[in-house]
Amino acid sequence: MKTTTRGLLIAGVILAGLAMADGAEDPNRPTLGFLYSAGGQAGTTITIIAGGQKLRGVREVFVTGEGVTGKIIKHFSGRRLSSDQRREVARLLREARKTQVAALRDAGQNKNRRRKPERKRKPKPERKPAATKGDKARKEPVKEVKLPDHYLLKDLEKRTLRELKKIQEFFFDPAIQQQMSPQIAERVLIELVIASDAPPGDRELRLRTPNGVTNPMRFCVGLLPEISEIEVNDFTPMRLPATESPFVLNGQVDRRDIDQFRFTAKKGQKLVLETKARQLVPYMADAVPGWFQATLMLSDPDGREVCFVDDYRFDPDPVLLFLVPKTGDYVLTVKDAIFRGRADFVYRITIGEIPFITRMFPLGGRAGAAAVSDVTGWNLPFQKMELDTSVKAGTTNEVTMRWKNGRTNRLLYRVDDLPEALDTGSNDTIGTAQAITLPVIVNGRIEVPGDHDVFRFEGRAGEEVVVEAECRALESPLDSVLQLTGPNGDVVDWNDDREDRRIGLNTHQADSYLRVKLPSDGSYRVRISDAQNHGGEAYGYRLRVSPPRPDFTVITTPSALSLREGGTVPFTAHIIRRDGFDGIINLELAGAPEGFSLGGGRIGPGRDRVQMTLTAPQKALKRPVRLELEATEDVGGGQIRRRVIPAEDMMQAFLNRHLVPAKEFIAVVNRGRTRIPPMELMTRGAVQIPTDGSVRVLIKARGLPDLSKITFKLADAPEGVTLRDVGVTPHGLLLVLAGRTDPVKVGWGDNLIVEIYATYQPPRRGKRRPPARSVLVGVLPAIPFEFAAPRDQ
């Protein structure tokens, strides 16, 4: 019987469902690059633009939280214009400009210009062209040019002259054409309805397409009025409302763009201009330094620059705090630090006499105990804030202050279960070191530039001690340095920075960490200071000095998975081990709807990155499902249970990668053309692969097709493992896995991801027949394994 290409592809779908690997590596996954506007006021209906790629066929909008719903209005392709289309667009722009000029002339807008008297010219007699070979071509009708369905080409006759100039630059400026990133080339118009009772705060917006669900983008819901910049405000500042009532300004910095805004301020006002730019688009893969570096400049009524900011401490998003010296019109200039501009350079600036917290102390408290922090800042209604310590120990929590128009800026604090102590403030030298008893967490701060705090504890030879400073992780500007000295005054160890992958938005990992075995009995001293000799009331820290407390964090990417009915897709678990933890971690679905199953949930000792699989139910689901993963491990006689954090693996500036946390882990189950039979790995626990032989693994499945044109491959095969053969039995698939005789570590384990490829024959193009190629059509459920000792031992 002849096997067709269509039949081969269907066979692959039956085996595993159309799926790809981790979102960072999936070339077909739709992605979002920006939203504009990136927020809205409660009780309004707004239209926003989403930019991204592979968004064709987009059909749904998902927004986390309550009170925000959306629908798709239109998708616009990101393809460039052909030669015919360029000529047609140029013609339409010329006609639109003529229409606008005529309208301005009729309205008397150019009455100050001198007009030359129009000469009455006699109409020239029409000449009949001489007969040429092109007569036939002249008689043929002009070919109609179909323009792309692009939002900038809508209603050209209603655009202003400056808007028409911007549109012409967008389509015809070579520099802009070269700079256009394919990652944001497509556009989607979205209508969002924000309920009047929608809680203020950040949401995550995603789009659903036939190829899957996009990455999340931040969308802000607030109570303040929202204003969007006009397209052309480079040289004529846009007039903003008076600053007596706060508002939010939405803008977008295009190429060579400088946005200017004029507003009236009164003497004595304490204005806060808080920017969100990098928070809206955390990382850009094809731009240096990897985000929009916004700058704010303020000019007084006389045109003099009075204030300039390009960040807030170590945060790239600037905050301008300004005490108005005199009443008058001030001009705000927004631009990129190195004069770049793109469609994804979007920003939101909250302007007015709004509350803004500049520092909080202490930066946390003990679980279950009352904790109150002192806060200072601008326009604050009170100076103390109660911390919620009822959350689980080891949690980093958020806190804001409520005011009549919403909430203040966000602050972070830590909740732990160790005893807490306060820095006395008189422990600047070795001789005045503050005595502490282990284990303890000390809340302190480097109050003046050049200051340092010293703490003393008693230790024994061979005892293991951990000294950890949490500063940047809690948004303190302190760039800590730790130094541990022994009883004889010699430096035992010191540390400046340690990478912490849990903080995906912090590119300067400036918190310090020490884990040492004490060399002798006696008094040891811990010194903490700022690496740049800075200091102030905001330079707080939490210093943990204790024996090791083994722990871990598991982060999964991507944060959304798209599956077919009964299909299987892989995703990646990133493991962050702390204080020497090296045990086995088990992941499991918590409260998932019936039909979902997790494959390869076991993470072996020492592993920091493992691929797993998720299998969907046999029936499609109408709405996305929010899944929860939990990680457990037995440590020291007690069980550690941690919530798994969903995230996106994002690239910064062509090279660096960061794990950016998301609010939810989402699965979408789509309807498939064919039914995928249920699959189940029959081996319980990890498959034991001998280093000198092979092992058979049965995957239970019924109704499998002919596999003669289907191939199976190990994805990122671990060293020492090969897939020797795949066959079909009455019970399902039989895989033969072999271990090599090369030296490998017995007991070392991982998950095997088996990819399924089908041969695809592209259709003939004229006389040329393209060569056949292998297409990845799915994966099998993850197979956990361990290397076993040779059988003769």
What's 99's DSSP letter? H
Beta-carbon-side half-sphere exposure of residue 573 (alpha carbons within 13 Å): 31
Within 10 angstroms of residue 166's Cβ, the number of other Cβ atoms is 17
Angstrom CA distances, 535 to 314, 376, 452, 473, stand at 14, 16, 9, 17
**pLDDT confidence of 131, banded at 50, 70, 90?**
low
More confident residue, 363 or 133: 363
* pLDDT for res 42: 94
Tens of pLDDT, residue by residue over 425-463, are: 888 888 889 999 999 999 999 999 999 999 999 999 999
Task: Find the mean pLDDT for residues 17-44.
Answer: 74
pLDDT, the chain, mean: 85
Alpha helices in 383-518 (DSSP H): none
Residues 6+ apart with CB under 8 A from 113: none
Among 411, 420, 416, CA closest to 385: 411
Beta bridge partners of 105: none
Six token digits for residue 387: 């911390």
What's 146's DSSP letter? P
Tens of pLDDT, residue by residue over 636-671, are: 666 888 999 999 999 998 888 999 999 999 999 988
Six token digits for residue 399: 């806190």
Composition of the chain by helix, strand, coil, percent to 5: 10, 45, 45
Task: Find the mean pLDDT for residues 657-686.
Answer: 85
More confident residue, 519 or 95: 519
**E-strand stretches of 277-345:** 294-299, 305-309, 319-323, 328-336
Question: Can you say how many angstroms the Cα of residue 343 is from the centroid of all Cα atoms in its chain?
Answer: 17
Report long-range pairs for 625-628 (Cβ below 8 Å, ≥24 apart).
625/592, 625/593, 625/596, 625/666, 625/667, 625/668, 625/669, 626/664, 626/665, 626/666, 627/589, 627/592, 627/596, 627/665, 627/666, 627/667, 628/589, 628/590, 628/591, 628/592, 628/665
Beta-carbon-side half-sphere exposure of residue 729 (alpha carbons within 13 Å): 13
* Segment holding 163, helix H or strand E: helix 161-172
Q: Are 66 and 193 in contact (CB under 8 A)?
A: no
What's 315's DSSP letter? B
- Most confident residue range from 21-25, 119-123, 526-530, 633-637: 526-530
* pLDDT for res 241: 79
Q: Which amino acid is at 610?
A: V
Task: Find the mean pLDDT for residues 609-614.
Answer: 94
SS3 letters across 741-786: CCCCCCCCEEEEEEEEEEEECCCCECCECCCCEEEEEEECCCEEEE
pLDDT at 10 over 60: no
Task: Find the mean pLDDT for residues 714-731.
Answer: 86
Tens of pLDDT, residue by residue over 184-205, are: 888 999 999 999 999 999 999 9
pLDDT at 314 over 80: yes
pLDDT at 599 over 50: yes
Tens of pLDDT, residue by residue over 337-358, are: 988 888 899 999 999 999 999 9
* pLDDT for res 25: 52
Q: Are 547 and 438 in contact (CB under 8 A)?
A: yes
Q: Which amino acid is at 328?
A: G
**Dihedrals φ, ψ of 13, to 5°?**
-65, -40
Q: Is 107 exposed, middle or buried (0-12, 13-18, 19+ CB in 10 A)?
A: exposed
Exposure letters 141-150 (e unless 16+ CB within 10 A, then b): eeeeeeeeeb
The Cα–Cα gap between 189 and 205 comes to 13
Angstrom CA distances, 600 to 610, 754, 767, stand at 9, 12, 48
* pLDDT for res 740: 77
Tens of pLDDT, residue by residue over 512-533, are: 999 999 999 999 999 999 999 9
Residues 6+ apart with CB under 8 A from 487: 520, 521, 522, 523, 524
Task: Find the mean pLDDT for residues 689-714.
Answer: 81
